[in-house]
Structures are given as structure tokens and as C-alpha cells.
């Protein structure tokens, strides 16, 4: 594969709402320049940024749900993206909170980007998903999930001046 990135902590389609996501110009003000560079390094940066915002998308005890950036970076064909966005808003709408959903890659290796077909790039990202808790509206624990290691494969395409996520596959490590 082409480019390799080691990053450390990543931080805490169909049916997608397009009414509140930022424009490319607004994204340029808040995202790293690599997201807008048409290169393998740019694709790897975009994958890292996307997963960072996925990690921070659920409503938790201190912050509301926010899918605006992942919505803006998701291509229309990304079913994983649409499902995640819908799940985040569905849980938040029911006043369910998610804590400790963290995505990190520091212990598992580096992001690897390689070109596939028609200019698309696949970025493989070995990720550790933190032990996650889901809380009912009354503050009782609904469910908990153990820490797990997952290989995320993100397919990205460069258009409209930035990288977009066209699909994501997950595979347990």
C-alpha cells in the first residue's frame, strides 16, 4: 500500500439529513489541510479525521450529539455512514447517552492508504474501540460493550475539493 500514518488517540447515504452540515469552505476552517489535498496522504488524513468525528458524534453526559462533520464528509453511497448518523440521532432523540466510545490506533499500528479503482483510495485503519456504556434517560445502565480491536477499511473519493468517505467495512482483529 502507499502512505502510512501513525496517529495515537482519535478522541472521545440513505436517510441522511443534509440541513445542518458545514460547507467545504467552513470545513477548511476547522479541518486539517490534508483533507483537501488530492494525495494518498490526504486520503489517510481524511480517514483519520472522519473517525475522530465518529468517535465524538454520540451524545454523552456532557455534550449533545453532533454528526455535522461526518455528514459533510460522507458520500451519498456510504451506507455505514448513513446508518451511524441515524443511530446517533435515534439514541439522542430518545435521550439515551453513550460514554467512553473512543477510537484509538496507537497500540495497533498505522493507517495505510492505497489507490484502488477509478481514483478511489482505500485506507486501512486498525482501531481499538473503547469499552462503551449506553445509559438510559433515567441514568441507569442500558448496555455495555467490552473494548475491542477492529480493522476499519474506508473507501474514499476526492471530489468537490475534498475527500469523501464512500464506504466503510469493519473486521474484528
97 pLDDT more than 80? yes
pLDDT given at position 20: 67
**Could you give the CA distance from residue 1 to residue 47 in angstroms, rounded to a whole number?**
15
> For the chain, what is the mean pLDDT?
87
What band does 107 get if pLDDT is binned at 50, 70 and 90?
Answer: low
DSSP string, 106-137: TTT--EEEEE-STT-EEEEEEEEEPPEEEE-T
Exposed, middle or buried by CB within 10 Å (0-12, 13-18, 19+), for 132? middle
pLDDT given at position 106: 64
What band does 105 get if pLDDT is binned at 50, 70 and 90?
Answer: confident
Per-residue burial over 145-172, b if 16 or more Cβ lie within 10 Å, else e, is eeeeeeebebbbbbeeebbbbbbbeeee
The DSSP code for 91 is H
9 pLDDT more than 90? no
pLDDT given at position 90: 96
The answer to whether the CB of 27 falls within 8 A of the CB of 45 is no
pLDDT, one tens digit per residue, over 35-88 is: 999 999 999 999 999 999 999 999 998 999 999 999 999 999 999 999 999 999
pLDDT given at position 77: 94
pLDDT given at position 18: 39
Using DSSP, state whether 48 is helix, strand or coil: helix
What band does 115 get if pLDDT is binned at 50, 70 and 90?
Answer: confident
pLDDT given at position 6: 38
pLDDT, one tens digit per residue, over 127-139 is: 999 999 999 999 9
pLDDT, one tens digit per residue, over 27-40 is: 999 999 999 999 99
The answer to whether the CB of 64 falls within 8 A of the CB of 91 is no
Going from N- to C-terminal start, the domains of the chain cover 4-172
The answer to whether the CB of 10 falls within 8 A of the CB of 107 is no
CATH class of 4-172: alpha beta
This prediction's pTM: 0.86
Amino acid at each position: 500500500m502507499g502512505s502510512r500514518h501513525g496517529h495515537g488517540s482519535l478522541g472521545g447515504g440513505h436517510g441522511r439529513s443534509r440541513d445542518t452540515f458545514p460547507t467545504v469552505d467552513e470545513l477548511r476552517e476547522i479541518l486539517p489541510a490534508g483533507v483537501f489535498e488530492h494525495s494518498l496522504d490526504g486520503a489517510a488524513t481524511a480517514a483519520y479525521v472522519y473517525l475522530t468525528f465518529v468517535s465524538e458524534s454520540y451524545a454523552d453526559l456532557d455534550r449533545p450529539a453532533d454528526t455535522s462533520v461526518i455528514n459533510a464528509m460522507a458520500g451519498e453511497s456510504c451506507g455505514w455512514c448513513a446508518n451511524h448518523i441515524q443511530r446517533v440521532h435515534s439514541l439522542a432523540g430518545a435521550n439515551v447517552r453513550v460514554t467512553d466510545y473512543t477510537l484509538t490506533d496507537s497500540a495497533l499500528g498505522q493507517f495505510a492508504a492505497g489507490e484502488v479503482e477509478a481514483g478511489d483510495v482505500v485506507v486501512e485503519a486498525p482501531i481499538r474501540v473503547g469499552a462503551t456504556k449506553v445509559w438510559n434517560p433515567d441514568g441507569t445502565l442500558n448496555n455495555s460493550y467490552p473494548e475491542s480491536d477492529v480493522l476499519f477499511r474506508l473507501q474514499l473519493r476526492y471530489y468537490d475539493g475534498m475527500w469523501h468517505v464512500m464506504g466503510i467495512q469493519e473486521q474484528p482483529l
